[in-house]
Every structure is written in C-alpha cells, then in structure tokens.
C-alpha cells in the first residue's frame, strides 16, 4: 500500500535535511575540494544518485549548505524587532540570542568563514554575504540611533558601531571554543553590549 503524499513529502524533507547537515560538517572540516559527493553520501547514509536528485551537483549542495547559517544569522539580527523594551534592552537581548546560538552551532558558522576566506572562489555566495550585511545593518542601525536619541547610548557613528559588532560576532565563530555552559560566554555577551557604547547609568 503506497504511503500518503504527506508522509512521502516529510520523508523527502528529512532526507534532504540529513544530507545538508552532513554536508555542512564535511565542508566545514575538510573544505570544498576535499569533500566529494561520494563522501557525503556515505556519511549521510544515502545513495550518490539521491544527492544528485536533490541538488544536481556539488556546487548547488555547497551553496545551499552555506545559505543555511547565513539565513539563521539574518534571523538572529532581525530578532531585535521582536523584542519589547528600550533600545538598549533590545540590543542586549539580540546579543545574548546570537552568542548563545553560536555556542551550539559553531560548525555551521565556520562554513561561512570558509567562504569569507576564499572570496574569489565563491563570487555568488560573496554577493549573498554582502546583501546579508547590508540588510542586517539596516535592521539594527535604527535601534542604535533611537538609543542614542533617548540617551541610553553614547552618540558615536551608528554604522561604525554596527561594523565593529559584526566583526566581533564573526570572530567568535572561529576563535572561541569553550563549551556552551562555560561562564566565559557571559563575559563575551557583556563585551558585545559594550561595543554599542551604553552610558554608565544605562548599562
């Protein structure tokens, strides 16, 4: 008896997700050139043909694997608009949300850094990253400006503040290896908040 269409769709999505999860791990650890479709198929427990069915080729699979952490990061920046409270509270909660996310997903974000380190090899993905930067900057800067107008933040260049924070967050993905429950992460969250220049009586 054939399975209902909804069940088949769910199974297909689960297989595709498993392939992508495996691909992210292998691409992050071994790089693009040392990761083959055969290795991904073997590690994910599917056939070579199944991967080609979903992604057609390695380039498409790599691109989709990289877009997963980019889109997760994008959501983490736009999370600032879902938080209630003052600008400083919203910024602080966004930072906590992002840093905590990094502690559990470092492998995903390491893949983004792999692309950043080889910009000439992946021009399409670099265009995606430039778009991502502009979108997230435009999402956060109005909150910075509002915080400055309300006297919660020192009046520094909002774009420079965002650029500094963006660099700080990217650095966490490749330089900090403490376990998720380590108290050091709380120190990093405070450092991230400090980059937005909260006034002493607001922090």
Do the two domains 1-56 and 65-203 of this chain adopt the same fold? Answer: no
pLDDT by residue, tens only, the chain of 203 residues: 455 555 567 778 888 999 999 999 999 999 999 999 999 999 999 999 999 999 999 999 999 999 998 999 899 999 999 999 999 999 999 999 988 887 777 778 888 888 988 989 999 999 999 999 999 999 999 999 999 999 999 999 999 999 999 998 888 766 666 666 777 788 889 999 999 999 976 54
pLDDT at 1: 47
* Four-residue CA torsion sign, 71, 74, 76, 81: negative
pLDDT at 194: 96
Where helices occur in 2-154 by DSSP H, the ranges are 5-30, 37-44, 48-55, 58-78, 87-104, 106-116, 123-149
Residue 108: other Cβ atoms inside 10 A: 22
pLDDT at 30: 93
H/E element holding 188? helix 184-194
- The DSSP line for 52-89 is HHHHSSHHHHHHHHHHHHHHHHHHHHHGGGG--S-HHH
Residue 198 bridge partners (DSSP) = 153
Every domain of the chain and the residues it spans: 1-56, 65-203
Among all chains, which residue has been given the structure tokens 């399409």? Answer: 124
114 close to 27: Cβ distance less than 8 angstroms: yes
CATH 3.30.450.40 fits 1-56, yes or no: no
How buried is residue 9: exposed, middle or buried, by Cβ count under 10 Å (0-12/13-18/19+)?
exposed
**Gap between the Cα atoms of 5 and 28, Å rounded:** 34
CATH for 65-203 is: 1.10.357.10
User: Distances from the Cα of 61 to the Cαs of 12, 73, 118, in angstroms?
Assistant: 16, 19, 17
């Amino acid at each position: 008896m054939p399975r209902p269409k909804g069940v088949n769709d769910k199974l297909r999505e689960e297989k595709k997700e498993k392939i992508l999860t495996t691909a992210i791990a292998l691409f992050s650890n071994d790089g693009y050139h040392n990761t083959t479709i055969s290795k991904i198929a073997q590690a994910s427990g599917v056939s070579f043909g199944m991967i080609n069915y979903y992604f057609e080729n390695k380039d498409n699979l790599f691109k989709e694997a990289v877009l997963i952490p980019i889109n997760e990061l994008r959501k983490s920046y736009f999370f600032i608009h879902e938080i209630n409270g003052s600008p400083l509270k919203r910024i602080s909660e966004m930072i906590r949300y992002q840093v905590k996310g990094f502690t559990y997903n470092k492998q995903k974000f390491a893949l983004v850094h792999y692309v950043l380190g080889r910009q000439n090899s992946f021009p399409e993905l670099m265009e995606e990253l430039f778009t991502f930067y502009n979108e997230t900057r435009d999402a956060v800067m109005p909150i910075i400006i509002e915080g400055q107008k309300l006297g919660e933040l020192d009046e520094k260049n909002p774009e420079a503040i965002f650029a500094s924070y963006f660099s700080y967050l990217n650095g966490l993905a490749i330089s900090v290896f403490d376990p998720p429950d380590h108290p050091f992460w709380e120190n990093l969250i405070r450092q991230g908040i400090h980059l937005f220049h909260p006034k002493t009586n607001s922090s």
